[in-house]
Structure 1
């Protein structure tokens, strides 16, 4: 997306978890860079003269501008031509200053995530998200074993661990996340150990993401349960650091809207993060179907968000979950700006596919009876593995392995 964005906007703002590749991506097109998070040499200089941060040939990168929030406004004021400034941050920005807000049209916001299976070379991308939305489905079978998928989960999508095996990659991911907790969480006035316990709960929590369910998940890991206010604060910190993905419930236009659940749920930003936080490994995933399923959904959500972000450059994809008090639950609902939507479930294997298709059809029926939306652009069941990618004859639901999914 970079060439198009550089020719359309004066400023590109890159956001995402530390280590996902923001700076490396910017350096592929930049002429100069200011590392604003270099505290011993660079930061003292730009604190004394902020204009030093934007000096140099352009495109110019200001890396980790949140260390000096005033750098954002300075960049907006000084950017004259398209592709002038690239700003990166690993800390979610708050409300922008008035000048920045009034010049918002000058910038594109790019949310970066860890590498998808396709970017890692582990998916053949024969099932394109864009293609599904247009009714195209030409899968090439790429069935891999459950053990291989478990290794993909542990490997995660960290660029710095691309060449490592799954065990080494998990260790590297653990060190990296541990460093974020030890430095950034501490800098925000919170305890790294409690943050890791809450992070583990996001990976281990099943069903409704209520305080009671989170407390149960934390207790199962031997952690002390914090108060509701403390838990909310720590979830906020994890979200600020992009270590979790927040999923809001879809307020679907069904008849009984009061029965629809909309409270946010959270999943780790990368499947390896949940495995590390829970103190698990590849063998643990293969011993417990519920743990494997939750980690698989974390990986599928990451890939879905990455692929959806390529549909409209600079526009953040809207992904929700659906659940209601009738017991109906659908993992992900993709909402597009033009009003189209799609419903997706993620399952381990063929044994769960039939029931999963039924749940998707129940949601379609409820929405149809609501009378406000058209039928979905597509419904799909993504499996950890199958040698029968297909379009279900009775319902039109697509069934395919996650290793065939792409943008």
Structure 2
């Protein structure tokens, strides 16, 4: 129960701002995200004491015998992997009720617990902060010259050609944004991630809702998600791909989402000038693009030679960073597709004032950029902007190259220049 201090070698994270703000506003802050994304390391930058529930049976037994005593200590008090011990939530909530202070507890968790009813009873006492793996800006592979916040304000887009090469981008994709793997060669990191996925299939999916699952079936679904990454694959499509029934696929996928391994971008629903109906299906991604590569055992060299598939995994990389940068600016991320085939890979919109940008993701190349720009311009013409206003920016995100503004107003920027 020693006082917690800064972690040696810790890399600053964008989640620190929301955590600090939340600690000033409520009694307890829950930091959620996939296992090994850095939640505990980040929470320790704020904690004065800690209880590590995943460190063995001693702390769990102590909580079972005397929960009030376990919750006592200098604040903020970190309760790491709190969902592993039934009763932690209610005991913490009661403690917040009894004490008027702010910033009493910091909870970290890598899964939604099975009892969502008690979990949601923290209204007014608890704020949640979502963490993901490190963005390229956090890992030092993006210059951050093109700020999403500035772009939302209509600011210009300009960036020098970065030192990060296409080969570097591929290796960053395979290694992922996991803090513990940041200094490893991409091939070694991928071996660790393969073991990570095996553990999820074997243990974590069953634990998240206390329901026995078939590890082989879960692994098959993870591979199917990897084959269909950055797509609107339905339950039926995935079920046909892995030879499982639709209900089983739905249950497995929901478990993976509760573990923060898989996530989705919901469809954007603006008012259109035309009568073309919009698609409703979400787009599916992994929490980190490295998981798609690890699931299919596709290394960096192979990805560089299979650019069609790498384009899909690269979109996952860009979306991961956009989720984080958007969150830092109070924005939501959607995707857009209508039934005529017109699409935008990402729509970033700020609910507070309605400001929005439309984004297409391309590896690069003059022809691909031209096609993406034309698609974005058609989308702008098709959206009824009388209510939400025109887009703050139309943006094509590429893997490498300069950041610049085209003559038609569409901006182009490499992911290695994006930042919050």
Query: Secondary structure of 1:376's match?
Result: coil
Query: Secondary structure of 1:231's match?
Result: helix
CA displacement at 1:246 relative to structure 2 = 1.4
Q: From 355, 363, 374, give the equivalent of 1:340.
A: 355
Matches within 5 A, 1:171-250: 171-187=191-207, 188-205=211-228, 207-211=231-235, 213-215=237-239, 218=241, 224-250=242-268
Q: Write the distance in 2 (CA, Å) between the matches of 1:379 and 1:92.
A: 36
Q: Write the distance in 2 (CA, Å) between the matches of 1:203 and 1:352.
A: 24
Are 1:360 and 2:376 an aligned pair? Answer: yes
Matches within 5 A, 1:309-324: 309-312=327-330, 317-324=331-338
Whether contact under 8 Å (2:26, 2:125) holds in the other structure is yes
Report which stretch shifted further, 88-97 or 128-137.
Answer: 88-97
CA displacement at 1:215 relative to structure 2 = 4.8
Return closer, same or farther for 1:240/1:257 CA change in 2, 3 Å cut-off: farther
Matches within 5 A, 1:58-207: 58-79=75-96, 80=99, 81-93=101-113, 96-97=116-117, 101=120, 104-136=123-155, 137-142=157-162, 144-187=164-207, 188-205=211-228, 207=231
Return closer, same or farther for 1:212/1:109 CA change in 2, 3 Å cut-off: closer
Whether contact under 8 Å (2:34, 2:261) holds in the other structure is yes
What residue in structure 1 maps to residue 271 of structure 2?
A: 253
Q: Write the distance in 1 (CA, Å) between the matches of 2:105 and 2:412.
A: 43
CA displacement at 1:77 relative to structure 2 = 2.3
Whether contact under 8 Å (1:53, 1:62) holds in the other structure is no
What residue in structure 2 maps to residue 221 of structure 1?
A: none
Report which stretch shifted further, 138-147 or 10-19.
Answer: 138-147
Q: Write the distance in 2 (CA, Å) between the matches of 1:94 and 1:319.
A: 27
Whether contact under 8 Å (1:126, 1:406) holds in the other structure is yes
Return closer, same or farther for 1:198/1:59 CA change in 2, 3 Å cut-off: same
Are 1:30 and 2:54 an aligned pair? Answer: no
In structure 1, the gaps of 5 or more residues are: 219-223
CA displacement at 1:23 relative to structure 2 = 1.0
Are 1:398 and 2:414 an aligned pair? Answer: no
CA displacement at 1:39 relative to structure 2 = 4.5
What residue in structure 1 maps to residue 295 of structure 2?
A: 277
In structure 2, the gaps of 5 or more residues are: 1-16
CA displacement at 1:236 relative to structure 2 = 0.5
Return closer, same or farther for 1:240/1:353 CA change in 2, 3 Å cut-off: same
CA displacement at 1:276 relative to structure 2 = 0.7
Q: Write the distance in 2 (CA, Å) between the matches of 1:97 and 1:186.
A: 20
TM-score normalized with structure 2 length: 0.88
TM-score normalized with structure 1 length: 0.90
Are 1:55 and 2:68 an aligned pair? Answer: no
Number of residue pairs matched by the alignment: 393
Q: Write the distance in 1 (CA, Å) between the matches of 2:193 and 2:135.
A: 15
Q: CA RMSD in A?
A: 2.1
Kindly report structure 1 stretches of 4+ aligned residues shifted beyond 4 Å: 93-98, 100-103, 255-258
